[in-house]
Amino acid sequence: MFNKRAYPRYSSLAQARLDHIDYTMGILKDLSITGCRLEFSVAIALRAGETYRIIVYPEAASHISPFEILGENRWNRAGYDAFESGFFFHTSPSGKAFESYLDYLAWRSNNASGETAAT
């Protein structure tokens, strides 16, 4: 399958929460230098066009500390069993933890592809 994105999005199972919401954690489903997608088990009132602080708790296997990113909410989608939100980063997030986690996801993605091709 051909991916037309200028910057790759990497699958993640990191936990994440929005700074102003303490009652639920979500899952960081996709991450790139331009944006991310969060999935929650409950609906959350988010305004499209508003900027939110996202606190990411990377997968334990990555051995990377939690970090924060700012993202503009672009879309929300309520499903039968999940609520998803897409965020756009106006400026690419910086910081050692974010960069290390993106590198880890890229490595894991490439490693998984190599294992699949070898079997």
Rounded Cα gap, residues 24 and 42, in angstroms: 8
Please tell me the predicted confidence (pLDDT) of residue 24. 85
Residues 104-113: contacts with CB under 8 Å, at least 24 apart = 104/58, 104/62, 104/64, 105/10, 105/11, 105/12, 105/31, 106/8, 106/10, 108/10, 109/8, 109/10, 109/11
* Integer angstrom CA distances of residue 51 from 74, 90, 119: 9, 10, 44
Structural domains of the chain in order of their starting residue, each with its CATH number: 10-107 (2.40.10.220)
pTM of the model: 0.83
Please tell me the predicted confidence (pLDDT) of residue 113. 57
Please tell me the predicted confidence (pLDDT) of residue 2. 44
Check: CB of residue 26 under 8 Å from CB of residue 50: no
What are 18-66's pLDDT values in tens digits?
Answer: 998 888 899 999 999 999 999 999 888 899 999 999 999 999 999 999 9
What are 54-87's pLDDT values in tens digits?
Answer: 999 999 999 999 999 999 999 999 988 889 999 9
Instruction: Give the position of tokens 């503009």.
Output: 72
- pLDDT top residue among 92 and 77: 77
